[in-house]
Structure 1
Amino acid sequence: MAALTVSISERSVVLGEHVIPGRWLRDHGDDIDSLNPDSKQRLTDTFGIDPQIAPAAVHVDGAWLSVDWSDGVRTGHDLDRLLAVASSRRSLWPRTGSGFTLPAGVDLWDSPAEATWFDFGVLDDDAAWTEALDHLRRFGWAAFDGAELGEESTMRLAKRIGYPRASIFGTVWNMNSGSFEHQDSAYESFALDVHTDGTYSHDGPGTIVFAQQLKTGEGGDSVLVDGFAAARDFQAQNPEAADLLTRYAVTAHYVEPGVHLVAERPPLRVDEHGTLVQVSFNNYDRSPVLPDEGLVDDVIDAYNGFRAVFNDSSRALVHPWQPGRVLVFDNWRCFHGRTGFSGERRFKGCYTNHEDLEGAYRVAGLI
């Protein structure tokens, strides 16, 4: 690398001709405390960063930039990657109109109702299945009890919606705590912030099916949040920021040996009619993309502001688990996470496509 001039200007780091706002840079470290070195998933507490954060000192060692921050933290940055990002700043997507409307015929919820459990036997009764399917359509989720253990129950539910979707995890996959079959935070035991899956996929999974096989210890409940209700409330609070999130594409990635997936879409994706069709938000998998000059604070404020709305614990619907229970939810609508846990936790899981979910609604006469 040719000699590069590095300096501090107010709350920014200057790399040659590039001015990198400190608020953005503090969130995009490549050191082992900021980024998992294997999965490249984010470890930094994005939402705890002081908006007034400032660099106190900078040091370059070869292709590595170290920054000491006003909060006492030191981050490290791959200069080649940082310069590539700084040279490809992100602008807003053009759109006709502004804001968004909500889909018709759904029941938005901003506080949790008591969980409704359908007997898994409804899959064998068309009328009863239609009732469960309508619950999924209206609320974004449906929960079942009494399923037989093993892969077949997961397959049966997926086939009632469409067909199991093959992904990097397989068709029907095992999600067993501590197994680390894939380099993903889902296999850890710590609490997971609510998020959507497949932000690194051009066509994110339409539904997610989880079926518990084994549970020991405490905790590990699933948490659901209605993303459409959160988007509605965020737009009411800050329409300009909500509109920005329909026009600013966030890039995400999935990395493991032999695999490197990348996709991008706005956190609030609207169709050509201005109707919200998908929420997409996973801070663990978010890639480093630097907004255009003049957009950095607006983008960060909008991103953090939306997260503050949907991460409010009063919105969370908690699903306690035991073997034989199955949960399916709309990954384009609901955020999901989990509480931390001890002991062992084993699941079968699979994805289905959203067009198949919509097709199931049409076949049942629900839309």
Structure 2
Amino acid sequence: MYTEVSEYYGKTLQGSEDLKTDACCTDTDLPAHVKTNLSNIHDEVLARYYGCGLVAPQVLEGARILDLGSGSGRDVYALAQEVGEHGAVVGVDMTDEQLEIANRHIEYHRDKFGYAKANTEFHKGYIEKLDELDLEPASFDVVISNCVINLSPDKESVLKQVWNLLKPGGEMYFSDVYSDRRVPMELTKDPVLYGECLSGALYWNDFLTLAKGAGFVDPRLVDDRPLAIDNAEIEAKISPINFFSATYRLFKIEDLDSSCEDYGQAVIYKGNIPLHADRFVLDTHHSIEKGRVFPVCRNTFRMLGESRFAEYFEFIGNGENHFGIFPDCGELMPFSSVQSNSASTKTDSSSCC
């Protein structure tokens, strides 16, 4: 599929308006500072970007970021403004036409951002073969991707390569397309369905299995939405499969628990992250209000304490005592007597999940 995907994004598509679905789009309701960043990007780069939204986690100042499937470079140049002159953003793409545009405007953006030297670079390569590129292992704070991994023929390799490139405590923060069942093999051979980010989509449960196998033991869902398929021909081909766009964050932290375990720990958000003064959102189950003692499982405690977020939190508890599965975390003991009484054992203090 390398040739088909490269031709679809290098020659067939000339702009986002040529896409037949909204599968390649993340949330279009962008914050004001992101809109400002995008307004600083060269028109040609914007015109050849196939998607919408921006995949960007919190706290990026000074970070080193890798963008998988960077295309014309729009997200690279947007995030180059977030990391600042002392950070760096590296893009990887396999499409010559896209890379030509991205590289052509490196100096334009350096000058536009007022930097003494460029903090962006682009490499030609395949995202499942990152070890073939001149990228130092354990050198990135964040790896992002915006609806690209579904296009890879070897998604397991992508995740393993990312694990190797992330620093300890670093994270992969990415948006992609998932299905509610495994896509039939015959559909994966359709170049339009594949190029539209549909037939290459992973069944959501297979994704979780691959992520855990690559070392990302506790994938965290940040947001999701069902995809709208407004093309009758495409809808007829893929029915009855349902597709979803979802953003996940995967932390490179060794020896996380396989389940949400309660060690009597909690965190307090100090509220000093720019643009997130009142609340820090880690994922769909962790929206942490400033100043509140927020009970968390050991995995969440470590994700916050062993990452770039540590300085923004106070940490409570030494983790010496284990109290079992965190209440309301989606898992119960398998014993029938416990399950029948589970409703009466729930507590209001169970904030983790």
Query: TM-score, with normalisation over the residues of structure 1?
Result: 0.24
Query: TM-score, with normalisation over the residues of structure 2?
Result: 0.24
Higher helix proportion (structure 1 or 2) = 2
Higher relative contact order at CA 8 Å, sep ≥6: structure 1 or structure 2? 1
Higher strand proportion (structure 1 or 2) = 1
